[in-house]
Structure 1
Amino acid sequence: MHLERTGGAGDRGIDLRGWWQPPSLSSTASDRRIRVVAQCKCQDEGGKKMGPVLIREMEGVVFRASSPSPGASQQSDDSSIDASDDDDAPLAGVILSSSGFSKQALLQVRSSSVPLAAIHLLAQPQGSSVKEEDADKAALVEQCVSIVWSDRFGSATSGLLEGGMEVRWLRSLSPRKGVEGALGRPVIYRAGKPLKK
């Protein structure tokens, strides 16, 4: 994904916007670009997970972004990343959280009528020898904890990803220290093969 930060006052709920061009299943089909709008959430209230209200809010953001107002085509600012001739490209919403999602929020994502993905990310200090009080000074590494998406985003047979794409949990049998940790990480697979970075 190629996303740029667009958040700020008057951002209409969109913190990041850009494009994703996942590889197609067949070698003859042309790769299709998907417009992406994303919202970042950080709820530091005692580790409280995001609830379904914020998912419904993101559904509204995606719906509004997919049917822009009549004056929106006249706007020409730096936040319209390569919007030249791809106005008819499909649109997907991504909601990113550092605190995770409640069970109800994940159910809301799975049953959403808009193409929507929820990603739980953690920012952790690089290396295990960093003390907690020095963590803000250390370089932080993002770790993807989970990915969940709606059938409109991608299912086994349909969605924006045109089927054949799934999230699998990749575990390592060798005990390695570092970003992945002992639990592993989610990886997106297409046609049985992991997507390249």
Structure 2
Amino acid sequence: MQRPPTHPRSVLFLLHLRLAVPSAQRAQRQQQASRFSTTQSNDAAKSKSKSKLPSSSLHNDLASFRRYATDVDLPVDTTVYVGTIYEYTVLRVLSRLGMLLTRVGGRDDRGVDLLGTWSPPPALPSRPALRIYVQCKAERARAGPKFLRELEGTLGTTATRPLGILATSGFCTPGMRRHMQLSRMPLAYCCVEPREEGGYIKQLIWNAAAAELIGNRVRATTKFVPTGEVGEDGEEEIRMEAVLTVDGQPFEPVEGTIEDKGGVHGDVQGDAQGDDVQGIPT
């Protein structure tokens, strides 16, 4: 049996239908790809915005930085968060010793995270204020001599003779002790244990070149401090904390240089190129 002839208009309709369907599918796929690309671009922009540190006016201590990190959803396990928290912790701890410091950390910090001065205690009125350069390393692993060499390189570019302090969360290694003893640069090592309340100093040592600036009457020792926490045996736990003494007496910082909240104290001008900071306002 023969099939009836197909009408020419039917052939044209079927051909048009076959061409139109793929074109519609291609248009739909292009539209989906465009939306996906736009979403990716927006997500990348948001991620970049969140990971970028703001100017120092947006945070200047532990509390303000934690608020900032919460506002921009900065993950607590990023190097930016961990490093900045540790820098502010070290600033707060060293301020209890009478150091007037400001945070200058960033990509172009030239190895200096904190910068400022340290006035002698009232028992040593004749000694001038020291220029202080602090490098902070929030390293989980034990720090090595390479960090001291980095700090020495920065100190060597200054016109003055500042005291360089390397602050880490671990104790000084034998290799670092030997390096400090042989160095002609004034170097100090500070082991700072971070805590929610601001941390504390576990170890503080310096070399002979630093002793010439600090003075032989100033010593570092340790004391036992109650933590306020009860251990498994029911007794209050204690910790060893490094402190400074002058002629065997507790180190008393210059009055007016420490604030209760331990933020940035005063307006310390200058950079890592040796611009002098004249004393500490009282």
**TM-score, normalised relative to structure 1:** 0.68
Q: Which runs of 5+ in 2 are unaligned?
A: 1-98, 230-236, 254-282
- Which is higher, the Rg of structure 1 or of structure 2? 2
Q: Give the Å deviation of 1:112.
A: 2.1
Q: Give the Å deviation of 1:31.
A: 4.3
1:140 and 1:123 map into 2 onto residues whose CA distance is 8
1:147 aligned to 2:204? yes
Of 24, 30, 33, the match for 2:126: 30
Q: Give the Å deviation of 1:25.
A: 4.6
Quote the residue 1:160 is aligned against.
213
Task: Output one character per residue of 1:114-150: Cα deviation in whole Å (capped at 9) or x when no partner.
Answer: 11111000112xxxxxxxxxxxxxx343021100101
Give SS of 2:199's match: strand
Give SS of 1:160's match: helix
Given residue 191 of structure 1, which amino acid in structure 2 is its aligned partner? D
Quote the residue 2:138 is aligned against.
42
**TM-score, normalised relative to structure 2:** 0.48
Using the aligned pairs only, state the percent identity.
Answer: 25
Quote the residue 2:276 is aligned against.
none
Q: Which runs of 5+ in 1 are unaligned?
A: 68-87, 125-138
Give SS of 2:194's match: strand
Whichever structure has more strand as a proportion of its residues is: 1
Given residue 147 of structure 2, which amino acid in structure 1 is its aligned partner? L
Q: Is the 8 A contact 2:192 2:200 kept in 1?
A: yes
1:24 and 1:110 map into 2 onto residues whose CA distance is 29
Does 1 or 2 have the higher relative contact order (CA < 8 Å, sep 6+)? 2
Given residue 101 of structure 2, which amino acid in structure 1 is its aligned partner? L
Aligned residues: 149
Of 96, 106, 111, the match for 2:167: 96
Quote the residue 1:118 is aligned against.
189
2:249 and 2:163 map into 1 onto residues whose CA distance is 23
